[in-house]
Structure 1
Amino acid sequence: MTAPMYADEKAPRTPADVAELSSDESNAADIFNALVTEDHQHEIKLRTMSWQKAAWLLAGEQVCLAIMAQTWSLSVLGWVPGIITMVLSGILFWITSTTMHRFIMKHPQIRDICDFGYYAFGNSRIAYIFAGFMLLANNILLIGFHILTGAKILDTLSDHSLCTVSFSAICMVMGIIISAPRTLHHVSFMSMFSSACMAIAILLFLIYAGIENAPGAGYNGNYPTDGPVHTYAFPLPGTTWVNCLNAVLNITFLWVPQILFPSFIAEMEHPEEFNKSLAVLVGISTILFIVPPAIGFRYLGQYSTAPAFGSLATAAYKKSSFGFVIVPTLFIGAIYANVTAKFIYSHLMGASKHAHSNTVIGWGVWGLVMAFIWVLGFIFAEVIPSMGDFLSLLGAAFDSFFGFIFFAVAYWQLYKRKLFDGPGRTVMTVIHLFVLACGLFLLGPGLYAAVEAIIADYSGSVSPAFSCASLGI
């Protein structure tokens, strides 16, 4: 089957452009082969990733600074609710990701989460536009967060030798340069280095937390203002419902990266092997998302901060461990920028020769789009006073859809005529109903808690826009 992806070479991209390819879903393998063959005729080839490189890309996107915020989540929730939330989030992540992969195998023409929403909601143009808005908002805000994190790291390492805005600008320029490759195949190589650096940062933190006599400080004061270090099974007396829910959102945010998965699958040479990449990611995530935070909570207790590096008492320990995080910070920003730029670029260039060739116009537009994305992220990083609260807002407003609701709806589309055929299918149906309920809970009470936290921060003293004030930990 060699039908072109676009009826009109100059037409802008729309999710219905390749609708004819899904007319016979039993032919998914043939359709994927046709898409790969068509792609490999271009000068710039996108569908080239093996499952091993996809696994590295997934790990590079997941092994991030947010891991070091989980110790704080445990300090808010306590051992029992905290570990249960982590394990349950991991199980639901595995199930929903598997559902997503099966749905894409039924609709090989899906190229990103927007296409996924289009088909999951019954070829709905409204769903496509809505998903497109959320993709852009989520990714650009996350790019801004990574710029801000980069500035925080440079502030810490240099003892605030420059204005923080200058450090943010440096991170923005570095991000634009790193994001230059147009294929995720090349970005996957960066991910190996990124993951290794984050692993070193985590290992150093655990060593330092273990050898220090006591943590340096927590949100309730310097040690021992808040008493001896101790851990607890359940939230401490006085912990508010908003704090608990924000701690839960912090955990779910880490476990919900599926917004990028359809884009990754669309650049695999054999998309049917994505389940192997996913298995590798689940293994890595289960270890890194639970073990280091648990060890950190053991040594930091109620003095845990987010990120946990801030609780270390020795300045040299903070710098030597936190410094390694600059690499994954920029590389993960580059992954989000790549997916975001491709979405915009594909709409601008359609199926013209510039979309898949090394032309001056093609690279010029790509560079302008990439620069625009990072500059916009830079503006958000400087204007928003508390990116941590806005991450909770992203987790509630966007991850409720991209991590739960979308995949519950996709499951219904896959099995709507046999939802209760046999015990196994019935169990999976009940699980996906629970997934839907989780998504709606995050969208309702979760969003309320995130907004309440933002209001509380705005009611206090906040840094002015484009402030030079130090962000160092």
Structure 2
Amino acid sequence: MSKMDESDEKKRPDDVQGTEVDPSSSFETITALVAEGMVNPLLHDVGGFVHDGLTMMGDKTAVLLAGDQVCLAIMAQTWSLSVLGWVPGIITMVLAGILFWITSITMHKYIMKYPQIKDICDFGYYVFGQSKWAYVFSAFMLLANNILLIGFHVLTGAKVLNTLSGHTLCTAVFSVITTIMGIIASAPRTLHHVSTMSMFSSACMGIAILLFLIFAGIENAPGYGYNGDYPSDGPVKTYAFPLPGTTWVACMNAVLNVTFLWVPQILFPTFIAEMERPQDFPKALAVLSVISAVLFIVPPAIGFRYLGQYATAPAFGSLGVTAYKKASFGFVIVPTLVIGVIYANVTAKFIYNQVLGKSRHAHSHTFTGWSVWGLIMVGIWLLAFVFSEVVPSMGDFLSLLSAAFDSFFGYIYFAIAYWQLNRGKLFAGLHRTTMTLVNVFIMIVGLFILGPGLYAAVEAIIADYSGSTTPAFTCANMAI
């Protein structure tokens, strides 16, 4: 082992070899937390992964990663195409996929150089010069991202129940019902069945997408769009570029909806650490990239073909036949609960271990242990419930998550990693120069999403509240 590697081993946050564990004393549980399933579903609406003893084979990694990509956010991409049009929309999707491949390969190369990295928090620690504040920041971003995603699923659950019931109860009550179901389902302190839950969730989401595509194709016309019921906005049409009058904020939020899907890298360090042969990760990544490209482009394109300017987010809301809408959207209740439960569990684990530390209550079935777990879980779901009521729409949620978190975990972290890997030879030859310029572009994209992107997401929320969007904690009908 080189002196640099020895130094790195002594400084890494989850060091277990000595007593110099400043960062570890506060954040050692992040590694275990991420290793047990902390992911960026919608992935990024995803389920998680499973341990296979201590390692996973490459083919299992590919299957689990691919299964994670069947998510509700796919159904927002038809709306993105309706805002951007065919040309900017498809270019954005393809470009996001290319950047996803490049940044993921950079991550893999960096982890191969520093194999002691076990999760995204370790990755942030090393990329930012072995800074414990970078580790803290990465951990905070993970937890904030998770709670917002739980809130997204509370909002989704309320919409599903509204749609299926015909708005028989106040929408806020439906949100409360979803929250209570989530708290009950999150009661276990382990995630041993996470892979089964994940695959079942993905299967239900896949059925929902397939039914939507069939119904969109066989019905005479869509029923509803953001500009009015069909045919108030004219006959269904598709177009190459944004329609006249489309605002910059709308275009930016459509782009953010696309980039959100293409940023699952938050879980990749953990997958790599769990693989029997980490060097085989690019093979699993290649499978994931192909499947993701099909899932993220084909269904939205078919949806745009049949819904045109009447596309909504999610696209189920545009279906003209109520029975079609209920039949397809109803399956979404399964991934809504499953994914919310997974995020709640891994988020609670971090807080739980901070509160109880290494006491016997942390790992035993004591009254104190279960009381603390219950209070934390209730607190997480209540906070998520508040977010679900305050952020007015699914599209706004995805845009906010993309701008606030994916800017770092999808772009900025990996542009910096590339610079660290190639310091002193950034312009050594045509290929290296080209890749350096590409990574400069990646950094610019990340900063643009973080700055103007976050501004656009906030502006969209403000605009929604000033328009027809229902206020927070409302009883109004939010059925799609």
* Same fold flag (TM > 0.5): yes
Name the structure 2 match of 1:306: 313
1:77 aligns with 2:84: yes
Name the structure 1 match of 2:464: 457
Name the structure 2 match of 1:64: 71
445-454 or 421-430: which moved more?
A: 421-430
Q: Output the CA distance in 2 between the equivalents of 1:182 and 1:447.
A: 35
Displacement after TM superposition at 1:6 (Å): 5.8
Name the structure 2 match of 1:372: 379
1:324 aligns with 2:335: no
Displacement after TM superposition at 1:321 (Å): 0.5
> In the superposition, relative to structure 1, how do residues 47 and 255 fare at CA in structure 2: closer, same or farther (>3 Å)?
same
Name the structure 1 match of 2:36: none
Report the residue type matching 1:325 in the other structure. V
Report the residue type matching 1:13 in the other structure. S
Report the residue type matching 1:220 in the other structure. N
Name the structure 2 match of 1:5: 16
Secondary structure, aligned partner of 1:71: helix
Secondary structure, aligned partner of 1:398: helix
> In the superposition, relative to structure 1, how do residues 423 and 370 fare at CA in structure 2: closer, same or farther (>3 Å)?
farther
Displacement after TM superposition at 1:96 (Å): 1.0
Name the structure 1 match of 2:203: 196
Q: Are the counterparts in 2 of residues 15 and 118 from structure 1 also a CA contact under 8 Å?
A: no
Q: Output the CA distance in 2 between the equivalents of 1:279 and 1:292.
A: 20
Q: Output the CA distance in 2 between the equivalents of 1:102 and 1:15.
A: 28
Q: Are the counterparts in 2 of residues 9 and 350 from structure 1 also a CA contact under 8 Å?
A: no
Task: Determine what percentage of the aligned residue pairs are the same residue.
Answer: 72
Q: Are the counterparts in 1 of residues 23 and 132 from structure 2 also a CA contact under 8 Å?
A: no
Name the structure 2 match of 1:31: none
Q: Are the counterparts in 2 of residues 46 and 183 from structure 1 also a CA contact under 8 Å?
A: no
CA deviations over 1:371-401 (Å, ceiling 9, x no partner): 4322321222123334532431221222111
Displacement after TM superposition at 1:269 (Å): 5.5
Report the residue type matching 2:128 in the other structure. F
Name the structure 1 match of 2:127: 120
1:242 aligns with 2:249: yes
1:159 aligns with 2:170: no
> In the superposition, relative to structure 1, how do residues 341 and 156 fare at CA in structure 2: closer, same or farther (>3 Å)?
same
Secondary structure, aligned partner of 1:230: coil
Report the residue type matching 1:170 in the other structure. I
Q: Output the CA distance in 1 between the equivalents of 2:107 and 2:26.
A: 17
Q: Are the counterparts in 2 of residues 12 and 350 from structure 1 also a CA contact under 8 Å?
A: no
CA deviations over 1:50-96 (Å, ceiling 9, x no partner): 44444444344432111011011111111010000001101111211
Report the residue type matching 1:335 in the other structure. I
Given the two structures, how large is their TM-score scaled by the length of structure 1? 0.85
Secondary structure, aligned partner of 2:169: coil
Q: Output the CA distance in 1 between the equivalents of 2:115 and 2:369.
A: 26
CA deviations over 1:126-164 (Å, ceiling 9, x no partner): 222222222222211111011110111111111122332
> In the superposition, relative to structure 1, how do residues 70 and 225 fare at CA in structure 2: closer, same or farther (>3 Å)?
same
Displacement after TM superposition at 1:198 (Å): 1.1
Displacement after TM superposition at 1:419 (Å): 2.4
Unaligned runs of 5+ in 2: 2-8, 30-50
2:175 to 159, 168, 171: 168
Q: Output the CA distance in 2 between the equivalents of 1:426 and 1:54.
A: 32
Secondary structure, aligned partner of 2:168: coil
Displacement after TM superposition at 1:363 (Å): 6.1
> In the superposition, relative to structure 1, how do residues 10 and 115 fare at CA in structure 2: closer, same or farther (>3 Å)?
closer
Q: Are the counterparts in 1 of residues 145 and 405 from structure 2 also a CA contact under 8 Å?
A: yes
CA RMSD, 1 decimal: 3.1
Given the two structures, how large is their TM-score scaled by the length of structure 2? 0.84
1:446 to 440, 450, 453: 453
Q: Output the CA distance in 2 between the equivalents of 1:232 and 1:433.
A: 32
1:402 aligns with 2:409: yes
Q: Are the counterparts in 2 of residues 263 and 339 from structure 1 also a CA contact under 8 Å?
A: no
CA deviations over 1:97-126 (Å, ceiling 9, x no partner): 222233233333434322221111001222
2:238 to 212, 231, 235: 231
429-438 or 386-395: which moved more?
A: 386-395
Q: Output the CA distance in 2 between the equivalents of 1:376 and 1:46.
A: 35
Unaligned runs of 5+ in 1: 19-43
Name the structure 2 match of 1:284: 291
Report the residue type matching 2:140 in the other structure. F
Displacement after TM superposition at 1:369 (Å): 3.6
Q: Output the CA distance in 1 between the equivalents of 2:318 and 2:403.
A: 27
